[in-house]
Structure 1
Amino acid sequence: MHTSAVKSLLTALHQLSHQSITGMPSVFGAASSQKFGAINFSVERMMSILVNNLHRVQPIWDQVVGHFVELIDNPNQHVRNMALDALDRSISAVLGSDQFLESLSSGFGSGSQDIGATTETGLLECAVISPLGVLYSSNQSIDVRATTLKILLHVLERYADKLRFSWPDILEMLRSVADASEKDLVTLGFQSLRVIMNDGLSTLPAEFLPV
């Protein structure tokens, strides 16, 4: 299927989800069950499309994850939790994919770097990580911010040694956590820093350390 057809399918799923979310009450009940089912259907199908198109994920990433971020802003807690889980799975799907690992190898695997591959990989990595910083800085919900930090912790625990380009965004996000008044947020931020010190420091480019 051509990329344009994939994007059209994603647009249709987005529209279905958007229609279902309109007028949905913030408290889950029988009246909202059918709407939630339609939203869940759309989210799962978008996830499936993402996973099946990891070889060309960059053109569709913003479209998929942009909708998840939109759902995370919804007042319905069930919708928010579903979207946060989808975001977590989406990030892991990309960073853990063979395609991403191969792109790292092509950019850094030999003495002479492939500049084109390196640039493309850097753009993708930053695009994959950036929704976390956006959510943490813009969302006022403590629960959403805490879950965002948990997703970051998951990412660092699994892929810290594979990250190359997104460290400025990650470190800036953690630096802002230090100013949080909520103890739970500070604790989660500290856990991420500990993972970086244990697993990611050896691969963290030296120019990013002063951030």
Structure 2
Amino acid sequence: MKIAVVDYGMGNLHSVLKSVQAAQKLADTGAEIYLTDKPDEVFAADKIVFPGQGAMPDCMAALNQSGLGEAVADGLKNKPFFGICVGAQLLFEHSEEGNTAGLGRFRGQVKRFAAGLSDAEGGRLKVPHMGWNTVRQTQPHPLFKDIAQDTRFYFVHSYYFAPEDESIVLGTSDYPDRFACIVGRDNVFATQFHTEKSHDGGLLLLRNFLRWNG
């Protein structure tokens, strides 16, 4: 089994690669895991990990300029696919960040957190939303195996998913209002938070992905 971590020049790529390799020690599937910027190696992979970090317009431009767009689109249709952070935002139709068109795998928008947010005690909440936050699993999924409800994961983002179809929402978090932070359907699973920075919870998600048949 081949697992491609897609390198389109945007993202915490080596940390993602190391975290998938660490998850492989737990999964024990014998998978070959590689970081690649070559479309043919993405086409040849059995599963795809699609990270991203930074501004969505830059990420989308880098994906198109790299020639990887067609291989990624093929994986979205046909293979177990794990999107991370901006790599998850790119799966939607459109983002308010730079008025950017996405890949359109899911219907909906990516929206910016409003200015002037405050918590229940009236304390100011900064944008970007940065740090550890609890995630509420809203539907059962094979990738949640051994992960407790309200496990904390690590976030760094100013924009969030706003899906048109609530049935794709697999997990939510609050800042201060509830927002979707895990989405998925069929062969695709995607998280707003950084699995590679989320310690045991992130490793278990990736372990479960490596064992998942999609």
Smaller-chain TM-score bracket: under 0.3
**TM-score, with length taken from structure 1:** 0.27
Higher strand share: 2
- Normalized per residue, the structure richer in helix is 1
Highest Rg: 1 or 2?
Answer: 1
Q: TM-score, normalised by structure 2?
A: 0.27
